[in-house]
Structures are given as structure tokens and as C-alpha cells.
Amino acid sequence: MLNTLIVLAVLFDGFFLSLTGIERKYAYPLDSTRIAPADVGLPQVSEHRLKSGIATLVIWVAPADEGKPTVLYFQGNGGNLANRAHRFRLFTDRGYGLIAPAYRGSSGSTGKPNEDRLTRDALRVWSSLDAFVPGLSPNHMVIYGESLGGGVALKLLAQPGVTQPAGVVLDSPFTSYPDVARHLAPDHARLIAKMTNIWNNAAHVKSLTAPLLVLHGTADTLVPYSQGQQVFATATSATKHFVSVEGADHLATWTDQTEPQLWRFIDGLHAFSIP
């Protein structure tokens, strides 16, 4: 991810490609392949389209059972929605609804990703919940942010006037993209200072008021465990929980020990019902 970005920036600095172009390519190594939900064992999930500016976003949607929440899932910076099919199946098997937007350049969505565009897309999705499932509103929602997705979630909720969800789960969150780059390539501060995709979770989490659960592996080699701890400590949510996943690397946080804690958090938020 960002380690490759820094290496290439050193090789081409000022001579061949702009740092912005390199950054986009290696900060968002997304898979553009469109795969239907049914083809990955999710026949209960339907595929929707949503216009966001000039881009068309692919959205995977499943309605919740009566009294259950809907999970708005923001994926990490790599792959596509199909790569998350196992997690989506576990959500829907529990009766949770699902709204999983594919970033620009992933899973059949058009356009090129960057921080501003993904933020606008997240706002577009958040304002369109009722279009996916009639009657759906933010108080029915649990936002799940996977790595980069945590940055998307927190920046969304830091925008003026945005209604907070019932709860937020951050999986392996970082303090900022430059902080991750400094961890991976500490000798290249001059290049890191030129980054344009910042995703400043340490600042944006201060706007969060919804209940929060953070999952982070103690052996995360990409995003240091200490960064997840810092995001958690800075969060202003009145109710918050941190789950350390012993020996787990980046995003290897769903285990037999941690999944029950995730379900208890979601189920305990409040009684969900859609009018």
C-alpha cells in the first residue's frame, strides 16, 4: 500500500509522474471487477446503482429483519465488495440489513477515488438511505469502517449537519494516512508531507458522539496497534469499547473470541424497528 507509494515516489520524484498520480494508484489499489452478489453466495443481496456527481456507484443492499439494524459497510482500500462476502453473509445471517457502497474504481463503480470524492460519495449514500430501503434512517444504522473505511466513516460523521448513526465500529483504524506512511517509510518525511489523501482520523473522531467499538490486532504490521489506541482515546463518544485481538495482523480481527463481542455491541445499541 503506502510503502510502495513511498518507494516509487523516491524513484520518480519530480521526473516522471506526479506524486498525486502515484499516490492515487497505490493508496487505492482497488479491483474494478464487477461481481454479482449471487455469484459469491449472497442471493439475498441486491445490486443497486447511485449517481454521485459524474460517477455511478455500485451499492450492495439487503433489508434487515424486523427489529434488526442495518450495517453501512465501508471497505478498506484494496480489492472489491466480493472480497468481503464472508463478512456480509455473517451480517445477513444474523438478520442485519446491509448497505455496502463500492468506492470509485471498485466493483463496477466508475470514476477515480481520492479523499474529497469518497467523502462526497459517502454523504450521497448517507442521504439516500430511504432510497435503498423505504423508511430507513440514520438511527437504524450501524456504520462499519474497515481500515480506510474507518477514515471514510469518521470524515462523513464530521461533516456539518450529518446525523449520527446508532453506533460505529472501526476495524484496524489509523490516525492518518501520513502517519501510516511515516511508520512504513520513516526516512521520507519530505515526500510524505506532499501527500494529498490525509484521512485525519485523529481529528475527525473528535466529532463522533455515537457509541463506538474499536477492533485492532496487537501484531498489526501495517497500521500500528498504538494508532488504533490513539483513535479510541481521542474519541468523544460517551460509550466506547476497545477490543484487542491478540497476535492478529491487519484486519485479521474477526475470530471466535471477538465476533461475539461485535454482535453484543451491535445488538445492545437499542431496539431497532423500521416504521
Cβ atoms 174, 221 nearer than 8 A: no
Instruction: Classify residue 189: in a domain, yes or no.
Output: no
Instruction: Classify residue 52: in a domain, yes or no.
Output: yes
User: Considering its fold, how many domains does the chain have in total?
Assistant: 1
Cβ atoms 239, 164 nearer than 8 A: no
User: For 103-120, b where at least 16 C-beta lie within 10 A, e where not — what string?
Assistant: bbbbbbbebebbbebbbe
Cβ atoms 172, 138 nearer than 8 A: no
Q: How far apart are CA 72 and CA 257, in angstroms?
A: 23
Instruction: Classify residue 232: in a domain, yes or no.
Output: yes
Residue length of the chain: 275
Instruction: Classify residue 27: in a domain, yes or no.
Output: no
Give the predicted TM-score (pTM) of the model. 0.93
**CA 89 to each of CA 3, 4, 40, 119: distance values in angstroms, whole numbers, following the listed order:** 32, 32, 10, 26
Neighbours of 30 (CB within 10 A): 21
pLDDT at 112: 95
Q: How far apart are CA 254 and CA 261, in angstroms?
A: 10
pLDDT at 211: 97
Give, for all 275 residues of the chain, the pLDDT tens digit: 555 444 444 434 443 345 566 677 778 999 999 999 999 999 999 999 999 999 999 999 999 999 999 999 999 999 999 999 999 999 999 999 999 999 999 999 999 999 999 999 999 999 999 999 999 999 999 999 999 999 999 999 999 999 999 999 999 999 999 999 999 988 888 888 889 999 999 999 999 999 999 999 999 999 999 999 999 999 999 999 999 999 999 999 999 999 999 999 999 997 565 54
Instruction: Classify residue 55: in a domain, yes or no.
Output: yes
Among 261, 270, 264, 251, residue whose Cα is nearest residue 210: 270
Three-class SS state of 55: strand
CATH number at residue 151: 3.40.50.1820
Residue by residue, DSSP assigns 150-199 as HHHHHHHHTSTTPPP-SEEEEES--S-HHHHHHHH-TT-HHHHTT-S---
- Sorted by sequence, the CB contacts under 8 Å of residue 271 that are 6+ apart come out as 67
> What residue numbers bound the domain in which 88 lies?
44-175+197-267
pLDDT at 11: 37
Among 66, 130, 137, 128, residue whose Cα is nearest residue 96: 66
pLDDT at 120: 98
Instruction: Classify residue 92: in a domain, yes or no.
Output: yes
Q: Beta strands of 37-140 (E only): which ranges? A: 46-52, 55-62, 70-74, 97-101
Instruction: Classify residue 157: in a domain, yes or no.
Output: yes
Instruction: Classify residue 23: in a domain, yes or no.
Output: no
Residue 239 DSSP label: S
